Structure 1
């Protein structure tokens, strides 16, 4: 049996055209600041980022009468619009035949530890509403004949809460939200890069005063760098994750996020030790995660050395052809690397094997026209000889075709179409791939309304550190939608952003521009290229899936040294566009030091191996085994149970990175709502906790 899907349907789900942006509104005025003629823009709230989370926040604020504008470095150029996998999913509850309750879903979301229980519940209870509203906007989520949502199992999800429109799910989300934002009249400012958050006040009274940006459209003889000022006392950071942090990355090019921007403004970050790594094609070609049916089709994975000789390297790790093939399949829903899955011949042994091949200078490929060759001395590959869970899945899917490419065509023809759009025909030629950085689970520390420790600054999407150690696949998309709405509700309830901020120019504006100019020096010995090379190599080689205390410590010393040099010498640039990159790479150097500081702190305090990384230690309790014998070099520490109950907080004081820990916020599962008692809190707005605007979060 073969699934027969007309080509026009495949095209519609793969070639997703984005809407044309409306004309930009002009600046409301101009001022002479630090010797520059700077255009002034005014708004009640500024959203930074045009991905799915930022668009949701802007749409929901506009519906509530907030004077909101959206600024973006590159409209439709971020991760939710440009990258993903065939398991970019949303999560549903209480639908179809696999319904569950929100508390059970919250426990699943936070099951990896180091996650606030109340945040997990907020994401769970908001998931059904987010799914329904996206369907209302036109997102084509699949249904059965009786209206139930079609769902399946994904990574860190044993129930099967995921659903998908195919590999372009997140881009389709961006499309429908962008169309709604444009319909509602949300002003967009494209090619606009946030470079400095302005604040006013001191201590607990400190709050947002505006945002300095660099805009190609504002470059003039009097303002060659295109510096602009958005005056607003409320901002929402939704610029995604630090995709440029790693050389080996599946992020689209140019994804810088806002961690360095936030650190400079005194905003606290959390859980920076936690990321996701997994197999995917690199961004030098077409960046994409190879999860889901790409590996469930069970292709042949091999490497090529410098002489062009082929190596069936996985056969040196698994004891039988059945075990090898079954674990390739399991990468579909166990896609992220997890240290514990290197044990007992599990699926992350594949990640380790690929990591070792690339470290040895070999290139790794996936061939959909060959089944895995047999392990030496064992029987050939057979769909009959697979582990029971694998046989049952492929049987239910009707994927009994002889070759991987035919199984893939049957289960997910969109997976093939997607690569064809980028001139890669996986039906005809092998696909090169590697283990790459894919997602930052940490980020800006926020409460259950998305508030940071800086009054007036919110964070949503990957910019927010709402995830713990692990998360079910697709939970990030759901979290961005839930918190985009929560932030909009909170800002709307405050009533403070109904109109643009009137009056003068923040006192911090001129000093902020002077700081920017001091950091950009044409004569600096530090080029953008040099900073990028140093940061990315250090992070990929010392802070990837395999770490150890000594290497991380040395990397941190090097990162501190680089930041000190940047503070003294600035960053060189040759033209205005390079000046923007200079600021962004200064931020990335700072973010790199923050991540390494948190990782070093974690390891030195006995931190063990969990979602993102294996912490190798000669005295470690866990030893991966391969067919060839124990892998002593990768003996690793196990995770301490106590570390699951806390989070590492990072902040900057006087150019020095400070670290501390805080316990996870708990949720009292025995607490029950009661309509007559609790309705007044909703009617009066007490649920928004507006009196706590300037309080520091726990």
Structure 2
């Protein structure tokens, strides 16, 4: 890595040069750097805004899942069968599904070798269990912190190799002409002087491992230090894909954490209260006829954690809807593990068989919810205690939150975007569709970063592309001028951020109304048009929020436009999104009219929505999914090609 100075338009920046810049220090980013090194690449630089932040290191669930090929038991499995499972999730490209299946065992076993303690039996089989949308027992876990342990082990491997890292660098512009990537412009958030404010990185390849655009939403289970940077990639000319497809689910507000699995299966008391904590009400009983019916649905919410529009009528997702509606009234919703629901006026024998049998087998038909939780899953209690919340003494505030973007940046089977040299890995990439088995995101991040590294090592060595100087000069002048104009005695950027995030959660999350989306879409467009005039920061330390807000608004604009286009093309409610449709039906008469909808019939599952953000507008294209490849698997032919080319490209 060489370091120089670069000047343009009265602004100066440190300049670093390398072959490949990896943006992000989550599990996918670290794996990309580690794989590149293993494949002989040495001219690597890791760029991160905060090494200790991000979703991989700071998120989890009751039993955070890693999804892979079956490696135990008598049941059959195959790469092709796993690929078909992934492909069946709708709007999934078959070549990507095949890669994620084919490299799942390799990626998993690398993590094992690095020290991630995935459980195995006495004979060495890596045992598994079924997760959602999983026909096999492909899921495994090391507990609530699976992704954290992955990240820490990969980080140790990278540090042992001495791969250089620049911390406290926030990417604020991807240098590109819309076809080729030239590098990055970053804000040094630790800089004290204006002359040290900006850093330019000239590189031939960018591995973009920035996670999903978490900052768009106020109601979010993403860790507080994760924001994403999808808008910057869209601005650079990268196509968006399946932007409409998200996962939402119930999560605690502080700390941000999925309340899945045993958190629901122990049957906590669910109540709402006024803003000041007064007027407690077990509001679910306004809807359900009996405590047993309500508690059975609550139990199933543990298994069926993501909000699924198919499970609103007669299923557990009605719990998500009722929580959402209660919060829309301005009330706060809590899980209470101190006391039994409905004053203990329920019988375990009256629960639906699945709930009754599970709790009976677990020996948990006793005591209070926190006692049942401690009996069934003591680490679940310890987690919150470690975060300063004692479930035996205080309730847990919850909301319906954004959890994972199944869409993102469009990629090919080497995880390269349509902008040459820019690879998107992890949640930043659109490798999933409408539905996906739980835990596939962790596998996808490892597989995608491995594929990107393989392609870069084989095809994209050498010096950076020509064109950097012009792109760098333009970006430095524009972003430098934005900083100077934004610094004012009174800053409004944090208030604007909070307002935009709240508006997105209101109209562009799990419950979507076309009219409300169109109204806020126009507001976002106006905010972007007046951004340089209206956004201010009171001190240099707030500039990071100025650039972050700019990225966030571009992301919101693209995602809202994608939702509106989906509806205009006749799209119906599917996955984790309920689209209000007057031509539909309400699953329950007592629900508001916003919950009148039509279920998607699956006929659009073979088509992908792609979007190009160009000159402040979104251009959409719908194409068929790429099928699962059926290549020649005759050994001698594949072996010959592998010897000659490595079968890369």
**Maintained 8 Å contact 1:69/1:186:** yes
- Could you tell me which residue of structure 2 aligns to residue 477 of structure 1? 442
Distance 1:158 1:349 in 2: 25
Distance 1:554 1:526 in 2: 26
Distance 1:531 1:519 in 2: 16
After superposition, where does 1:114-153 map in structure 2 within 5 Å?
Answer: 114-153=91-130
Secondary structure in structure 1 of the residue aligned to 2:348: coil
- Could you tell me which residue of structure 2 aligns to residue 635 of structure 1? 596
CA RMSD of aligned residues (A): 2.3
Paired residue for 1:69, among 42, 45, 52?
45
Out of 179-188 and 541-550, give the one that drifted further.
541-550
Shift of 1:505: 5.9
**Maintained 8 Å contact 2:58/2:223:** yes
After superposition, where does 1:362-377 map in structure 2 within 5 Å?
Answer: 362-373=331-342
Secondary structure in structure 1 of the residue aligned to 2:119: coil
Q: Structure 1 pair 463/495, CA: closer, same or farther in 2 (3 Å)?
A: closer
Deviations, residues 531-586 of structure 1 (Å, cap 9, x unaligned): 313321221111121112211111211121111112x5263223322222211111
Deviations, residues 326-348 of structure 1 (Å, cap 9, x unaligned): 2212112211111111012x110
Paired residue for 2:432, among 461, 467, 480?
467
Aligned: 1:685 with 2:645: yes
Secondary structure in structure 2 of the residue aligned to 1:311: coil
Out of 410-419 and 43-52, give the one that drifted further.
410-419
Aligned: 1:168 with 2:129: no
Structure 2, unpaired ranges of 5+: none
Secondary structure in structure 1 of the residue aligned to 2:389: coil
**Maintained 8 Å contact 2:204/2:460:** no
Shift of 1:403: 3.0
Paired residue for 2:284, among 305, 314, 318?
314
Out of 285-294 and 99-108, give the one that drifted further.
99-108
**Maintained 8 Å contact 2:15/2:201:** yes
**Maintained 8 Å contact 2:242/2:608:** yes
Shift of 1:222: 3.1
**Maintained 8 Å contact 1:118/1:448:** yes
Distance 2:648 2:491 in 1: 47
Shift of 1:145: 2.8
Paired residue for 2:79, among 90, 102, 105?
102
Q: Structure 1 pair 159/305, CA: closer, same or farther in 2 (3 Å)?
A: farther
Deviations, residues 101-158 of structure 1 (Å, cap 9, x unaligned): 3333223333331111221222122222222111110001122333233433333335
- Could you tell me which residue of structure 2 aligns to residue 238 of structure 1? 209
Distance 1:57 1:558 in 2: 38
Out of 147-156 and 292-301, give the one that drifted further.
147-156
Shift of 1:163: 1.4
Paired residue for 1:519, among 475, 482, 485?
482
Shift of 1:100: 2.7
- Could you tell me which residue of structure 2 aligns to residue 342 of structure 1? 312
Deviations, residues 364-389 of structure 1 (Å, cap 9, x unaligned): 11122333328xxxx94333333223
- Could you tell me which residue of structure 2 aligns to residue 20 of structure 1? none
Aligned: 1:227 with 2:190: no
Q: Structure 1 pair 199/408, CA: closer, same or farther in 2 (3 Å)?
A: same
- Could you tell me which residue of structure 2 aligns to residue 249 of structure 1? 220
Deviations, residues 585-623 of structure 1 (Å, cap 9, x unaligned): 111111100000000111122111111211112211x42
**Maintained 8 Å contact 1:526/1:569:** no
Q: Structure 1 pair 540/401, CA: closer, same or farther in 2 (3 Å)?
A: same
Deviations, residues 275-314 of structure 1 (Å, cap 9, x unaligned): 11111112xx311111112112221211123572222222
Distance 1:329 1:146 in 2: 34
- Could you tell me which residue of structure 2 aligns to residue 606 of structure 1? 570
Distance 2:17 2:191 in 1: 15
Distance 1:152 1:664 in 2: 29
Aligned: 1:509 with 2:472: yes
Shift of 1:244: 1.1
Distance 2:466 2:612 in 1: 32
**Maintained 8 Å contact 2:189/2:544:** no
**Maintained 8 Å contact 2:175/2:468:** no
TM-score (norm 1): 0.88
Aligned length: 644
Distance 2:89 2:465 in 1: 46
Shift of 1:639: 1.0
Structure 1, unpaired ranges of 5+: 1-24, 690-698
Distance 1:83 1:407 in 2: 24
- Could you tell me which residue of structure 2 aligns to residue 355 of structure 1? 324
Secondary structure in structure 1 of the residue aligned to 2:302: coil
Aligned: 1:88 with 2:64: yes
Deviations, residues 614-639 of structure 1 (Å, cap 9, x unaligned): 1112211x42227xx56654111221
Aligned: 1:654 with 2:615: yes
Paired residue for 1:297, among 266, 277, 282?
266
Secondary structure in structure 2 of the residue aligned to 1:569: helix
After superposition, where does 1:553-632 map in structure 2 within 5 Å?
Answer: 553-566=518-531, 569=533, 571-620=535-584, 622-625=585-588, 629=590, 632=593
Secondary structure in structure 2 of the residue aligned to 1:410: helix
Q: Structure 1 pair 69/99, CA: closer, same or farther in 2 (3 Å)?
A: farther
- Could you tell me which residue of structure 1 aligns to residue 16 of structure 2? 41
Distance 2:578 2:9 in 1: 49
Shift of 1:412: 1.6
Out of 363-372 and 439-448, give the one that drifted further.
363-372
Aligned: 1:541 with 2:501: no
Secondary structure in structure 1 of the residue aligned to 2:22: strand
Paired residue for 1:264, among 235, 251, 255?
235
Out of 530-539 and 186-195, give the one that drifted further.
530-539
**Maintained 8 Å contact 1:519/1:571:** no
Out of 519-528 and 652-661, give the one that drifted further.
519-528
Distance 1:105 1:327 in 2: 30
Distance 1:432 1:546 in 2: 20
Distance 2:452 2:202 in 1: 19
